[in-house]
Structure formats: C-alpha cells, structure tokens
Chains A and B, each alone.
Chain A
Amino acid sequence: MALRMWASSTANALRVSCASKAHVSPAFSLSRCFSSVLDGLKYATSHEWVKHEGSVATIGITDHAQDHLGEVVFVELPEPGGSVSKGNGFGAVESVKATSDVNSPISGEVVEVNSKLSEAPGLINSSPYEDGWMIKVKPSNPSELESLMGPKEYTKFCEEEDAAH
C-alpha cells in the first residue's frame, strides 16, 4: 500500500496518470501504465490535445494515444487552407499495421501543418505535445474549447478507459 501511495503521489507530481489493470483479460491488456498529461492543454475523448494561444490553436495526439498506437511510421495531414470540424477526422497516422483516424477537437481553418512529420513521423511518439504537433487551426468557434476536458479530467478519463478494458 505504501509503495502504491508513493507511486501515485510521484505520478501526480510528474503529471502522469496510472491506470488500474486489475480486471483486464491478459489477452487484451496493455502493459504500459504511465502516460503524460500536460497543464494548459485541453483534451478530447478521442485522445487529441489542443493548445489555444491567441488566434491560433495547435492540435496533436496525446501521449496516451501514441503509446497505445505504437511506432508511427506515416502521417497523413490536410492541406493548409482547408477546414476542420469538431469531432471529425482531419488526418491519419499509420503505426505498423494500422491506420488510425485523427479527429479535430475544434472547428476552424487549417493555417499550418507540421511538415517535419513527413520525414520524421516518429516525432509523434518521442514528442507528442511539442515537436509532434500536427496542425495549427484558426478556431471558427472558440467556445468549443470549453466543452473539452482539462488535464485532471482527461487523466481520470484515461484511467477509467484503461480500467474498463
């Protein structure tokens, strides 16, 4: 119990989450326990993050998502000038055998895409919140950000999601 409390308080200090795996069938369970969740970002239930700074919002996928997907080998992104809408797909990542949709947490116009990801898709794994950002959007409806989760809420969401499987 003492070790578990230490691990939990350390995890909180480092802003990490730890999911309980007690009830998961070994055939389906994932071995990783800790994923980082950053302050200052908002989070979608489909595991994308958004950072709103002034008139631009930066979007990527979370540490939880990249960890569950595995090594990213290819990233499909939209063209600048296109539009994205809340909850709908704007691109995809390929990890080994799977393509996985990436959904936009907010609506708006794509003003920039991360061109480094075409040559270095692994940035999504190594730096999901910084160098692995995917698109920058000019929000068309900033109030959409209010319906997204904050860090603590997202951490709890991940824990509950992992515990349920």
Chain B
Amino acid sequence: MTISQTRNVGLPLMKLVRWKGVPILQQLHLEEQLLRTSSENWCIINDGTNDPTIVMGISGKPAQLLKLDSVLNDRIPVIRRYTGGGTVVVDCGTVFVTFICNKDAVPGLQPYPQPIMSWSSLLYALVFRGFGDFSLRENDYVFGNHKFGGNAQSITKNRWIHHTSFLWDYEARNMAYLKLPARAPEYRVARDHLEFICRMKDYMPRSVFVDRTIKAVETYFSVRPVQLEAMETNLNSKFSHSTKLLTEQELEAAAFESHFEKGDSRFVNVINESALSGQEK
C-alpha cells in the first residue's frame, strides 16, 4: 500500500465533483438534490460561474437587500437559495466549495450550525496556512478583518450541507447592486462592501487554492473524484427544488412596493394621476 492509501484506510468516503464555470443555479439545484436524496458524502468545487448572479438566502427579501432599479436595468439574475445566510454577487471570479455530509461523517461533530462552522474553519486553516492571516470571524472567512469567503448551511434530520463562495476576484461594479444589509456581523463596523471584502488572488494562486482544499479534505475523508455525466443520469428528475430563480415580474413588484413604501414622489404622482383620470371618466 502507498502512504496515501494507508492514510485513507478507515476514513469515510467522499465523492468529489470538480466543475468549472457551471451556472450557480445548476450547482445549487444539484446540491439540494444530493442533500435530500443521496446517502453519500460529497464535495463540489465549482471554479467560477458563468454569468454575474445575485444569490440571496432562504429568507432574503429583494427590496431590502438589493438596489432593484439597477438590478432590473442591467438584467442581473436573482436567485433565492435553499440555505440560510446573506446575499452575494457571484461571477467567474468566485470559487465555490460545498460539503454535503451525513451527520456522523465527521467523528465528534454535532450537526448544528456552530460546530459545523468551526470544523470548516479547521479544514480551511490547513488550506491557508502560510498564505495570510486566516480566521473564521463570526461566520465569515477573513484575512485580518477583510472577508473573502461567505458561508451558509442547511441541516436536515440526518445530513448537513456547508457551502462557501470564495471571492478569488470580483468586479467592484457588481457589488453596487447590493444594499448595506440590516443584519451584518459586528466586525463589519458599517463598512461598505468594497472596504469590507478582499480578493483571494492577492494571497494565493487559484489552482493552489483548489489543490490545497482537496488535500485538506483528504485529512478527513477518502476522496473519490466522480464525473458529472455519470451523476446526472442517477438524479431524480421529479425532485422539487426550493432554490428558485426570481422572475422579472417578482423583482418589478418588489421594486414597486419598495418605492411606494418609501413614498417615492414619482410613484405617488403616477398613482394619483391614474386615480384622478379614472375618476374623471
């Protein structure tokens, strides 16, 4: 037996899916389906997604979180995902890493949000050792006090998922679609997006990050790469996803409601004029 084979004896199996540029909606749909219908452990690494997309958490309200006029004008897709947490803008500069595990997969780990978050920080501490002042700060991955990785989770009776969007690079103009959230970590200290986040590419090469992540996963699991085509044929096409792409109508309705509630005079005048013209008839 080789040294690596010896090390893997006794470790639970984890199937590894490696993608590049897969649409984030497709990734989220696959994750949700694996969480709910598979009994195996999975790691999905999607190295960048194709188009800029806004992804909100399960309870995200577009009017509160997004600058909807710009989002609608620029036709940016908006997704509400199945996990908790905040809002991100993702694109080809985002690297996604997802763990889907049975609740007993990691010995000694309780399937609750904080223990899972802590375990993930131990794994990524291995990844970033020697590359920057990495830590888990509240629920974010940071270098110093600048966020570069956002986390979210979903926990079922017997399984859990922990997924991260890593900002290897980003477009400053895309961050302008997001409002300052009402609920923010304390260490953010009301900084706007560009002062709060940082780029991973300033700390380590992209391929090094992916390779080191896989190596770190191998300390907990026996990793087996699998091909996407083989997986697609095994998936249940009748599965009902809760992750949804919001329609243009839904976003327009949210924008309208937002303006109306703020008493935006342009909208109030339009409504009043419509009401008056109806009365005159």
Contacts and interface: CB of A to CB of B under 8 A. Distances in A.
Nearest to B57: A94
Chain A interface residue number, banded: 20 to 34
B150 to A, nearest CB: 9
A81 interface: no
Nearest to B158: A46
Q: SS class of chain B's interface: helix, strand, loop or mixed?
A: loop
Interface in A58-116: 68-70, 73-74, 76, 87, 89, 92, 94-101, 103
A94 B113 contact: no
Nearest to A164: B108
Interface stretch (A2-10, A24-32, A149-157): A24-32
Contacts, number: 86
Contacts of B82: 99
A165 B115 contact: yes
Contact of A96 (B85, B109, B119, B154): B85
Contact of B108 (A98, A103, A165): A165
Contacts of B119: 27-28
A87 B157 CA distance: 9
Contacts of B108: 24-25, 28, 165
Given A28-B108, A28-B109, A68-B110, A89 B85 contact: no
A98 B155 contact: yes
Chain B interface residue number, banded: 20 to 34
B84 A68 contact: no
Interface centre among A25, A69, A100 (most CB of B within 10 A): A100
Q: SS class of chain A's interface: helix, strand, loop or mixed?
A: mixed
Interface string A47-63: 00000000000000000
A101 B114 contact: no
B58 A69 contact: no
A70 B222 CA distance: 32
A94 B112 contact: no
A17 to B, nearest CB: 15
Interface of A: 24-25, 27-30, 46, 68-70, 73-74, 76, 87, 89, 92, 94-101, 103, 161-162, 165
26 contacts: A24-B108, A27-B118, A27-B119, A28-B115, A28-B119, A29-B115, A68-B114, A73-B183, A76-B58, A89-B157, A92-B58, A94-B58, A94-B84, A96-B84, A96-B113, A97-B83, A97-B86, A97-B153, A98-B83, A98-B116, A98-B155, A99-B83, A99-B84, A100-B154, A100-B155, A101-B156
Interface of B: 57-59, 82-86, 108-110, 112-119, 122, 139, 151-157, 183
